[in-house]
Structure 1
């Protein structure tokens, strides 16, 4: 009996102990749902998220939370990298401290553009002739009751009513006139003084006589235009209280305008007052206008390394509008080198065998650089002329060039000792700002149907049709005159013509496709700078084309139809941009 009691007690104690271990521990150490939520929120999953994201080596825009196949090309996905420097393939950066220690200096370069026949081409725009500007002011204190000229661009003739003003002081002056008129026989000096007072407020003899004769005081007085012109700025509004002499309108006479041109530092010696300039504008491409240089700014702009040169143009027919871009041509210059002369200091140039290199600062606010190969012209003192490789406005390293090159080598970027295999290729993804006249844009658009038909012929792998369409597109672009374009625009259009000719003369499809890569690199930046397109054009890219370097093309359809592989990989590619 005692044994049974002992067994029961042991079982009871054991049961209590097990229950405590199971339930007691859970109770004391339990975590509420709220606590779990807070812990989850406070825990940093950033590293885990990056590790769990997978991408395609050929299509980096593909991001998936788990491994698998690329939906575009079918390749196995790889873990995505968590960081990126955001730079182009050949770009590299330096720290501000390193630049200061090496005393690295940069300079913005410009071009002289003197052609073989001794002419210089200048770019500029039309501005108002400031000498013909006039300010219409209020001649007395008051409130503008009505403003007849209230927007820019209105034409105003001399003597035209501009505004009506309520002027309390003028009301009192009129009462003085009426009183003085009755005493003019006995007090002629007072009478004359009151009339002169009104004249100083720009009231005419006719207005003063009308007040004197009628004996009626007018509350609102008109303000008339003292000159003819065009309203360029409205400085007051109806209901405003104005002081004597306060501006109401700014007007300019557009019968003459200024054509202002940017002259680079190395061009100044060729420019002088009195030189004749032949001016052309995109609005009237078949007309030439003659002007004479009347002013050369004595101060050089240290940012652009240019001097402003001004010529006055007659504009009685209203041909020139302020803000228009114009081109000026100066003839009879002594330099006949036939090259676009960009001058750089000798310290900016590195030599390696037959190659001449400079480093270009590609970001205005950041120390980001890229190596570029250039073609040297003649040497003048401590300067070289650059005939190819740079365009006006490029910012290059002029001091500390070897230090920058060493930084490029350490970062594994293109450098003097580490040239790229495709240095001369133009990156089609780079945003290039170009100035294309309306006529050039229309001529380029004329070749678009041939381009899209040629792209479709590549998709169909029809080399004969490709050759024919390339020839037709080449004929369309042949009408474009390159002389009125900038150096970069000329290079792209000339290269496009050259590649189209090579495609048209070839009957080998692979060879044509290789040339098509280069054509898109030169022609896509041109189309990206065109305006008023009738339809959206998609820029598409296959990362596997061009020996896995990637190649782009244009299409009117968002659906991918790959011209570089045709049926072999019809859907390989993606839309990377669009031209609206």
Structure 2
């Protein structure tokens, strides 16, 4: 019995050890595997970023400390990339329409630089019709501004008590001119000082009647550019009544950048064109170059005189001038205008170091003059470099989303180190909208484009009205089916539009338009069913020289951040079809 008990006990111990090993040993292995998987996941770079502020990088999910939006997973991009490099997939490049061009040398000889300007009234031939005596405006014989008048035409009638008294003195002195010729002559001279002609004075004397409402005649022929008084107004000697512009000659005022100053000199002939008459060229002679630079626009005013005997050129019309440039037989590097991103004082391009690898490198360049749609490169590139000529904005947007250096983020985001010692954290953003939401977004897009036009026109009230309408549409869209990322961005749109609607200062509205436009661009890139083609445009001087973008239906630049102050400042940096 004792031997049997020992055998049973031994079997029980063995079985127990086996079961314990299977339970605890397996669990330990599972735990080790789980810990290994977890550590691998963390080491692989499980970071979180903000789609609106890609410079934000956090090791765990949460809210963006800048805008409060939910963070999204950041996916690792190409390993071993520098902060100024971005890697794209072949498919992404095709969808974005990215095209590169090899930097080559431009040939010497005659070339052209284009500058934009506006037709204005020639102030040298602009006349102001003033009052020569105190009085009251009884009648105005001009019906509207823009009316053509001729020299000697009656413009207005003025009741002047002092002139009535002077006429009575003339009639009295006329009776005494034989006995008191000096008095008679003094009274006539007094009327002449009030710009009465000999004919008018003789008519008063011969009729023996005092004229109570005295007529005012035009001193020059031209077009009425401004009516400065109304019937019933009391005026003083020297008060301006009307402005008469002689449009037989006009001025073209051009804004030339600092690096273009050497191209202009007084007496130089420019070839001026306008979209109103695409087949005609108007010669203009430079008559004045401003001695000081405009601190706000960083441009210099160049004035040229134009013969306008046919009356084709109207004040306010936009024009362009071609300036002939000689390269002095020296070769120069050139790149297309579309390849350049402007960021305040910096000019950036994206270079593809290896044509067999879809890695793009941001590079700062120094630009020369713009010639025939291409910039001369003073430094930053060398012959043979591959530069992104189309889709530049899309490449930069990808860099922003991956927290890399970009035109909006000069320093790049803080990157984390992977377990193998490589850096380069990135993020991707994708939004999914229902067809109904996409259709509604097209309505919001139309409101945005009208709002942009209101800012171009510096119309603060219309901007408020449109922003309010946009807020309502954005709120409706947020209730339609879409993913969480889409909801976050649409909600952000509603808040941004509401901010603009609440402000009655134009400068504040334009400042809020910066973030609104950036959000609209990001959403627009995700919409599959846009009704229209959009141009993404960029002003390097907006947003305190940080640069800012906006969307437009037209390729021609009409700057919403400055309006007339810098209407054509900017360039097209991308398209959304």
Q: What is the TM-score of this pair, normalised by structure 1?
A: 0.46
- Structure number with higher relative contact order (C-alpha < 8 Å, ≥ 6 residues apart): 2
